[in-house]
Structure 1
Amino acid sequence: MRVIIDCDPGNGIPGANIDDGLALALAIAAPQISLEMITTVAGNTPVEVGYAVAKDLAKRLDVPIPVYCGASRALREDPLPWREKLDHGVEHFGLRQLWEDVPTPQASRHAKPIAPEAIGELICHNPGEITLIATGPLTNVAIALQLYPQLIHAVKMIVIMGGVFNVPGYMKDTNFGLDPEAAHAVLTSGAPVTLVPMDVTTKTQMLHADLDRLASAENVLGRYLEQTIRPWITYSMRTRNLPGCWIHDVLTVAWLLDSSLATTTEDFLDVSLEGLTRGMTCRYGRNTLRLDVGIPEPKGVMIEILQSVDNQKLLSLIEHYIHRYHV
């Protein structure tokens, strides 16, 4: 299975989520997956920080996976309120000390933002062979679709972690909220899409005890995950009142490895671009609406949506591949 992962990783960055890094680790560890490219986008971390995290992981594992820097901001959305929220939460909660023993990857400001071109060229030169996994805002993917319209038919599948329908406290999620125009463009493009929304990823959970089992692998990947995930679990427990942490993004890779992990449904999707609901994910297939007055005809194609997940099976799958990883 040939894969590109477009992401916004934060492993080793104080206050930044680690789920992209866990997804990358699983893709690298699973022999069924050929991870052919990693691209980064501004989201969970600024784009140059995510680029540094991805480069650091590839260097630590000594794997020759090309890493490309992408969009530093959304197509239209003002990035400043998002960066204030995402980059300074650790100071707001006074928990930076959780990362005091974790080396921080050094950001690079010299990488050219060529990720959309790299994505488009690899997919279009290999029609029907490349699955694109997107675990951050969809800016790079939307730009790639603009530059390479044939990508819609050339890509094997686009698996997206993003969107939220009915999770208490969430009108929108970070990935779609940070760039609604990009999410709208991708979801209505007609490309074959599978969505992994927060409704299912908030049913995942990794505890310190689960991380202990990963760390017992005693290989470089297990040590990397233990070092970078440990503070995030504690941070999540203290700031979100969870028993551990959600592991949103890794479900995209895990589902490709074992589709029995989750149940699915289908519907037409879009993202609101105006007013209070800007960034909100909308389901609007004619067969699922009780009232369709004033609702436009669906655009694009029906999208597969993950609905539920077996968390213990997910954790076992991750542990299986991390324990069997060797360089």
Structure 2
Amino acid sequence: MKRVIVDCDPGNGIPGANVDDGLALALVLGSPGLSLELITTVAGNTPSQQGFNVAKSLVERLGLSIPVLKGADRALEEPAEPWRKALDSRVYETKLAHLWQGVRQPTVFPAPEEEAADAIGRLICANPGEITLVAIGPLTNVALAMERYPEMVEAVQEIAIMGGVFALDDYIKDTNFGLDPEAAHKVLTSGASITLVPMDVTTRTLMTHSDLDRIAKLDTPLARFVSETLRPWMDYSIQTRKLPGCWVHDALVIAWLLNQQVATAADYYVDVELRPGMTRGKSWRYRRPLRVDVGIGEPDGGLVHVLQTVDNRLLIAMLENALAN
């Protein structure tokens, strides 16, 4: 049994918000091999309070007692306003908010007083070598936890991260690292044991309406949650991204923890650009020896395990199996 914390920015039921965090949570909850001990939310795909409402609503809907805590509302340094404008208004600019008509909205809950970063740091440090931290939003909470609990770097069993983009047409940066580059830099170069799932591999995932139809027939609480909330996002993705379905970025992180046959991986040094300009927030990776190493000093932190390819058929089968539970 692998003990996990999931730090996320879910948007299930929110017009225009990606639903892969909620799908990842459903995969955790439906997998007997994983014990979900804490859910925390961070500003990213959705504002932190909105993500908290989504996660808390799911836990309440399932009758579970898993603690859910709201985390950081803003990045360490990156201005929030341009990102919020882009992420929160695009669905209205494209006049596609009607796709969410009739979809159940998350309940609004008061946020607990305990801070997510403190809860993450305390739980990991109290259980050295036993907790896997799944970070599938911007890394603000994780960076704050490391700052407050430096021993967490050695105590965490693994940090499994969805974020970064290295060589993908139409992207210079991704949302998770772009929204808080300083946090991404701090975590990636911390020396902790890290697995990174970048967009280069998650954009090779695909869920279609046919897949969702099979999930809907399972008629379990988890399957109903997924089929209800993924349907409008899938239609939105088909219209705005010209895909035959939608990518399921964050679900691949959980699938890798369950079965490493679902992907291939290789080790790299990874970091994020922090300087102002159009490449701020862009991730990069390298392995030694480099053919040209002028100006390349010693790397910060250690090697990061980076996923490279995915078996999408196995991924979808794993999702269906978990949602049947």
TM range (shorter): over 0.9
Shift of 1:168: 0.3
1:228-239 correspondence runs (5 A): 228-239=229-240
Aligned to 1:243: 244
Shift of 1:177: 0.2
State the AA in 2 paired with 1:137: P
What do the CA deviations read for 1:259-306 (whole angstroms, capped 9, x no partner)?
Answer: 01000000111100013211011113332x321111221010011000
RMSD: 1.0
Shift of 1:105: 1.2
Aligned to 1:297: 298
Deviates more, 1:295-304 or 1:138-147: 295-304
Normalised TM-score (structure 1): 0.97
Q: Secondary structure at the match of 1:36?
A: strand
What do the CA deviations read for 1:188-227 (whole angstroms, capped 9, x no partner)?
Answer: 0000000000000000000011011111111111111111
Aligned equivalents of 2:12 and 2:243: distance in 1? Answer: 19
Aligned to 1:152: 153
1:36-47 correspondence runs (5 A): 36-47=37-48
Aligned residues of 1:284 and 1:298 also touching (Cα < 8 A): no
Aligned equivalents of 1:133 and 1:197: distance in 2? Answer: 14
State the AA in 2 paired with 1:267: Y
Aligned to 1:280: 282
Normalised TM-score (structure 2): 0.98
State the AA in 1 paired with 2:226: L
Aligned equivalents of 2:105 and 2:226: distance in 1? Answer: 14
Deviates more, 1:131-140 or 1:210-219: 210-219
Aligned residues of 2:70 and 2:111 also touching (Cα < 8 A): no
1:217 pairs with 2:218: yes
Aligned residues of 1:6 and 1:40 also touching (Cα < 8 A): yes
Aligned residues of 1:286 and 1:292 also touching (Cα < 8 A): no
Aligned equivalents of 1:129 and 1:104: distance in 2? Answer: 35
1:23 pairs with 2:24: yes
Aligned equivalents of 1:76 and 1:296: distance in 2? Answer: 25
What do the CA deviations read for 1:80-111 (whole angstroms, capped 9, x no partner)?
Answer: 00000000111011011111110211444544
What do the CA deviations read for 1:127-167 (whole angstroms, capped 9, x no partner)?
Answer: 00000000000000000000000001000000000000011
Aligned to 2:319: 318
Aligned equivalents of 2:130 and 2:19: distance in 1? Answer: 28
Aligned equivalents of 1:109 and 1:56: distance in 2? Answer: 12
Runs of 4+ in 1 over 4 A off after TM superposition: none
Deviates more, 1:295-304 or 1:229-238: 295-304
**% same residue:** 57
Aligned residues of 1:49 and 1:108 also touching (Cα < 8 A): no
Q: Secondary structure at the match of 1:209?
A: helix
Q: Secondary structure at the match of 2:218?
A: coil
Aligned equivalents of 1:13 and 1:290: distance in 2? Answer: 47
State the AA in 2 paired with 1:130: I
